[in-house]
A and B are shown apart, each in its own frame.
Chain A
């Protein structure tokens, strides 16, 4: 649908802020670009699966985390069901980081920042960095021996750079708020931005794609000459 409205016989651009915003959105990311049914033929490698797998693991983290939050932090120490849900959360996190690391390494070797895609790369790296913070707050939230140890050890690095008072790994209450709300919210926003940027710019073409096409065109014309 066009962002313009009709007045009489003339198409006029929207005059309201919301109309302009809609116009901009429709122009930048029309539905067929947001939810395409076809992809360039080069999108044919197992490496492309790891972005989706990362999102799937994130969904599992959120689902298991919601159940844990409904029951409270002591649940998994006392109940076998709680321990199982905690285990779901734990292994989802392990898979999430594994998939995300493979995705990141894959994108590096594809030089996926080419063609105005630097913002996509940066938003992805930011996701990774904030996820490390979310992981750390989760580890100190286990309320077991490991969290005591991590809190004691991790505080020194954070204090050394002057952020220890506001990101105090030894403060259980502060860590709980960050882990359950603040950091997941930041990750959610970053993931949405990252995915939308991927859709806006499309999947980066292969390195040397133009050269391959030229060689192909050259071969075709040579063949034609013979």
Chain B
């Protein structure tokens, strides 16, 4: 009885009772209602627009952090330098078992942090004599010598039992021009010059802001601002906006995974440690499965039966059921 009749009913043109329904009128009314609602919301709440951070601001507010970050860029220990594809070969990127999409895709947006973030910007400007001399020493040295200077200074500067980030407490050593270059870049940033030079040293046009974003992310300045605005991924930041404005609420099913302890483990080994280190690819894999389930839900036995098993439709079509029962 019903199953095939119901199927026929669903597939054929409806021949049962009808009612007048002016969809054009409904569309016009809906447009007017939404327009009024949007105007009211815009007038009452406005929209978020916290000014962008600048390298000048970083140099003014957290000069030591910019200094330490600059040294890390020269030493090749920063996040950008060790990121791997698509920026460089500093790492393999994230992996999911044998799947290494980042590595397989390769470098397509080349970034060489030492040169792109420090040396080239310094070279584009007239520098004080000590910085100009340090630039000459650096560019005249072999790559091995550059690495030896920068690594020695980076290690000494970040020694938790020693300087611990304080440049004034770094013991004497063979650091070559590295401290002077870092000081020079912080001074250049404080003047505001770095903000203009970094995107396109020597070029007129610039539309690609990848280098600035990457450099910002290597230090603590952007991170501190993100934390202060509740924007961190593990505090539902993906759905937040600055201030009290709603963010991308529709990313809730995505954001959820970044808040699970499993993807925020402090363990140094084990599956959770691996999942945390490769959290993005793990979560993207989960999201891909979720999207495919949603997309092909009409064909998935069990899932497609849920609306029949939990009769919310009795509520939606209550008027129809009631009228047909009479």
Q: Give A residues with C-beta under 8 Å from B.
A: 35-45, 47, 49, 52-53, 55-57, 59-60, 64, 76-77, 83-84, 86-92, 94-95, 97-98, 101, 106, 108-111, 113-118, 121-122, 125-126, 129, 132, 135-136, 139, 142-149, 151-153, 155-157, 159-162, 164-166, 168, 170-174, 176, 202-216
Please, which residue of chain B has its CB at the minimum distance from the CB of A47? B316
- Out of B31, B37, B105, B208, which one reaches A162, CB within 8 Å? B105
Q: Using Cβ atoms and an 8 Å threshold, which residues of chain B touch A202?
A: 13-14
Residue of A101, A111, A117 with most partner-chain B CB within 10 A: A111
Number of B positions contacting A (CB below 8 A): 106
B220 CB → nearest A CB, Å: 13
B271 CB → nearest A CB, Å: 18
Please, which residue of chain B has its CB at the minimum distance from the CB of A33? B13
A162-B105, A171-B210, A216-B325 in contact; A83/B49 too (CB < 8 A)? yes
A162-B101, A209-B6 in contact; A88/B39 too (CB < 8 A)? yes
- Out of B7, B43, B248, which one reaches A135, CB within 8 Å? B248
| Contact (Cβ within 8 A) A106 B248 | no
Q: Using Cβ atoms and an 8 Å threshold, which residues of chain A touch B325?
A: 212, 215-216
Q: Kindly state the separation between the CA atoms of A118 and B297 in the bound complex, as whole angstroms.
A: 9
Please, which residue of chain B has its CB at the minimum distance from the CB of A100? B250
| Contact (Cβ within 8 A) A44 B319 | yes
Asked if B283 CB lies within 8 Å of chain A CBs, one says: yes
Q: Kindly state the separation between the CA atoms of A111 and B306 in the bound complex, as whole angstroms.
A: 9
Using a CB-CB cutoff of 8 Å, which residues 116-174 of chain B contact chain A?
none
- Out of A56, A90, A171, which one reaches B31, CB within 8 Å? A56
B309 CB → nearest A CB, Å: 11
| Contact (Cβ within 8 A) B2 A211 | yes
| Contact (Cβ within 8 A) A95 B94 | no
Q: Using Cβ atoms and an 8 Å threshold, which residues of chain B touch A113?
A: 297-298, 304
Q: Using Cβ atoms and an 8 Å threshold, which residues of chain A touch B37?
A: 91, 95
A184 CB → nearest B CB, Å: 17
| Contact (Cβ within 8 A) A86 B47 | yes
Please, which residue of chain A has its CB at the minimum distance from the CB of B242? A146
A111-B313, A153-B237 in contact; A116/B11 too (CB < 8 A)? yes
- Out of A136, A153, A168, which one reaches B109, CB within 8 Å? A168
Q: Using Cβ atoms and an 8 Å threshold, which residues of chain A touch B225?
A: 145, 149
A118-B299, A145-B52, A152-B217 in contact; A109/B316 too (CB < 8 A)? yes
Asked if B269 CB lies within 8 Å of chain A CBs, one says: no
| Contact (Cβ within 8 A) A57 B319 | no
Please, which residue of chain A has its CB at the minimum distance from the CB of B20? A38
A134 CB → nearest B CB, Å: 11
| Contact (Cβ within 8 A) A95 B34 | yes
Asked if B26 CB lies within 8 Å of chain A CBs, one says: yes
Chain B binding site: helix, strand, loop or mixed by DSSP? helix
| Contact (Cβ within 8 A) A161 B297 | no
Q: Using Cβ atoms and an 8 Å threshold, which residues of chain B touch A116?
A: 10-11
Q: Could you mark each residue 200-220 of chain B with 1 if its beta carbon is under 8 Å from any beta carbon of chain A, else 0?
A: 000000011110011011000
| Contact (Cβ within 8 A) A145 B295 | no
Q: Kindly state the separation between the CA atoms of A136 and B21 in the bound complex, as whole angstroms.
A: 36
| Contact (Cβ within 8 A) A110 B313 | yes
A144-B48, A205-B10 in contact; A132/B86 too (CB < 8 A)? no
| Contact (Cβ within 8 A) A165 B296 | no
Using a CB-CB cutoff of 8 Å, which residues 273-296 of chain B contact chain A?
278, 280-281, 283-284, 288, 291, 294-296
A131 CB → nearest B CB, Å: 8
| Contact (Cβ within 8 A) A110 B316 | yes
Q: Using Cβ atoms and an 8 Å threshold, which residues of chain A touch B213?
A: 148, 151-152, 155, 170
| Contact (Cβ within 8 A) A144 B51 | yes
Q: Using Cβ atoms and an 8 Å threshold, which residues of chain A touch B210?
A: 168, 170-171
A162-B102, A212-B321 in contact; A94/B33 too (CB < 8 A)? no
Asked if B1 CB lies within 8 Å of chain A CBs, one says: yes
Q: Kindly state the separation between the CA atoms of A164 and B9 in the bound complex, as whole angstroms.
A: 47
B16 CB → nearest A CB, Å: 6
A59-B31, A153-B233, A212-B321 in contact; A145/B50 too (CB < 8 A)? yes
| Contact (Cβ within 8 A) B294 A125 | yes
